[in-house]
Amino acid sequence: MVAFPIDKQVLSDRTFEAITALIYEAIGLSLNASKKSLVASRLGPRIQRLGLGGFDDYLALLRDEAEAAEFQMAVDLLTTNETYFFREPAHYQVLEQELASRSNKNAPLAVWSAASSFGDEAYSTAMLLADLQQAGRIGADWHILGTDISHRVLLAAKEAVYPEDRLRNVSPERLRRYCLRGEGPAQGQAMIQARLRERVRFGQLNLCKPFSGIGPFDVVFLRNVLIYFDAETKRQVVDRVVATLRPGGLFFLGTAEGRVPAEVPLTVIVPGAFRKPSKV
């Protein structure tokens, strides 16, 4: 396969529609015909860097489920990225403080990232918990569940390969401990190390429908997903999710989402961080 100059690459209507359909199916992002030139300009340099023959070859790559990391790279190139490691760092500070103050530091710890997307949130939490374990502030019995409605983003989450910019809020020490940097065609990407990936499992789940068989959890993240739902659906989703929390458990929403009505009264710790009552 021979690469050709970027100015010679042509994105046909058919290939544009196929690429945008994949993106829409995975993350719900709609790119209409007016975005064709944007798609071409964002993906063209990536195609050239990979040494591919053009947009049709890149489409074939995106359709290959074994290339989940490349699909994620395409999503990042086509969006104003709002998914990244240690987003809303105040929440991780609250989590660290709350866990370190538990009376039984060796008690099992279960965390749920309920709208995990590509896994940034789940692996950020895993880095924090691994650090706390190493410092003797929590025990070794902890695990994280990440769920999402999109099969394709879950494949990428399991692969755990990320554009380096997504890890811009990860400290150099954590990057050394928990990440492997790519070389060659993988330059500009980083993989989460196996010892951390083993702590996180992913599964498909639709929050808008009743579910069972998961939990109970000590910590639940439900951040930056409720904005897609109407008021009644928000209430139903929050009630379902909070029901999986143990009494006294921690519940996190996106800071900009405010406070969503819930059947169980929640105590505010900081904006977006709540505690479920110890007795319900």
Domain positions in the chain are: 6-78, 89-275
Neighbours of 114 (CB within 10 A): 24
Catalytic residue (one of 42, 181, 201, 275) = 42
Catalytic residue (one of 57, 63, 137, 148) = 148
The residues, any chain, with a CB within 8 Å of residue 6's CB and separated by 6 or more, are: 44, 45, 47, 48
- 128: annotated binding-site residue? no
Read off the pTM.
Answer: 0.76
- 169: annotated binding-site residue? no
**What's the confidence (pLDDT) of residue 7?**
47
- 207: annotated binding-site residue? yes
Instruction: For residue 42, indicate whether it is catalytic.
Output: yes
Per-residue pLDDT of the chain (280 residues; tens, 9 = 90+): 444 454 457 899 999 999 999 988 776 667 889 999 999 999 999 999 999 999 999 999 999 988 888 987 888 788 654 679 999 999 999 999 999 999 899 999 999 999 998 999 999 999 999 999 999 999 999 999 999 887 878 988 999 999 999 999 999 999 999 999 888 888 889 999 999 999 999 999 988 889 999 999 999 999 988 876 778 888 999 999 999 999 999 999 998 887 778 888 999 999 999 999 987 5
DSSP alpha helix (H) spans, the chain:
13-27, 36-50, 55-63, 68-78, 89-100, 120-134, 151-159, 172-178, 194-197, 231-242
The correct CATH number of 89-275 out of 2.40.170.20, 3.90.1150.10, 3.40.50.150, 3.30.70.20 is 3.40.50.150
Instruction: For residue 148, indicate whether it is catalytic.
Output: yes
- Residue 113, classed as helix, strand or coil, is strand
Q: Is it true that domain 6-78 has CATH number 3.30.410.10?
A: no
User: Token pair for residue 36?
Assistant: 């064709």
- Per the CB < 8 A criterion, the answer to whether 111 and 218 are in contact is yes
Q: What is the rounded CA–CA span in Å between residue 121 and residue 118?
A: 8
